[in-house]
Amino acid sequence: MSKRAAIYGRVSTDLQRDNFSIPSQVAECVRYAQKLGYPLVGDLYVDPETGLDTRPGNGAIPAYVDDYSSRELSRPGLDAALRYLEDVGFDVLIVHSLDRLARDPYIRQTIEREFLDRGAKVEFVLGNYEETPEGEVRKDLDATFAKWENAKRVERCNRGKKRKAESGKFVSGRPPYGYRIDPKAPGGLAVDSDEAEVVQRIFRLFIEDGCSLRHIAQLLTEEGITPQLGGDKWVSRAYRKSCATLCMLAIASTTNTSGMVTD
């Protein structure tokens, strides 16, 4: 009987879901499973082209994906894989490389034990680790080096961000909904007129009409307005922070220089 396999992929932030990391991780894991004759199982799916969550069918790949730091033990995708393992079962969790599971040796070992205790072994596409004491040492060395390399990368990145912030520029990542990156604009951001209308409408519905975020999401989805992350469905968490920011701006606009709210 063939071993059933589930795929796990990870990037550090939701901004990275827009690049090619998840599609490439999933593609390599699929090839690994095909090579070893593992049928893929799971109850969550990703689009093989975009790496974004999707529904089953139309070439979707069963895979559990997180946009969380590897320092986190509890991650939505990883937790969902564990639940599926407990409820339905599978034999192997395929991960592209060791640092996609965790860079810290202790966290990596803890996660591997969580799956092993439930009957599934973690296998890595890259690394070719043997099930021997020497293989475990290799895993620890690779994880330690990956952890050091990531710390140096973060240091370089933060240094560049600090310099950019000190010059009054938009630091990095996806611009807030309603804006687009424009190096010539003040602060490096320019207003996107089409998205700005949607932002203003969300503000009115949320603040003036008292609509819930869930209701607003349903309205925007029904009207076919494209969400910031693409796709055809709005979810309230996608603009929860935007609504909070708008509320603070509204309060600030009604506050005078002495800090008292005006009529």
pTM over 0.85: no
Give the mean model confidence (pLDDT) for residues 113-117.
95
21: Cα separation from own chain's centroid: 11
Relative orientation angle of helices 105-117 and 133-166, to the nearest 10 degrees: 130
Give the mean model confidence (pLDDT) for residues 96-109.
89
Residue 189 reports pLDDT greater than 70: yes
Interval 209-253: pLDDT, tens:
888 888 888 888 888 888 876 777 887 665 565 555 555 544 444
Picking from 37, 91, 43, the residue whose alpha carbon sits closest to that of residue 64 is: 43
Mean pLDDT of all residues in the chain? 82
Long-range CB pairs of 189-196, under 8 A, 24+ apart, other chains included: 195/228
Interval 60-76: pLDDT, tens:
999 999 998 888 888 99
Max mean pLDDT range (103-117, 133-147, 170-184): 103-117
> Does residue 259 or residue 125 have the better pLDDT?
125
Give the CA distances from residue 78 to residues 39, 42, 85, 127, 210, in Å, rounded to whole numbers and listed in that order.
19, 12, 11, 21, 36
Give the mean model confidence (pLDDT) for residues 6-29.
85
Interval 38-49: pLDDT, tens:
999 999 999 999
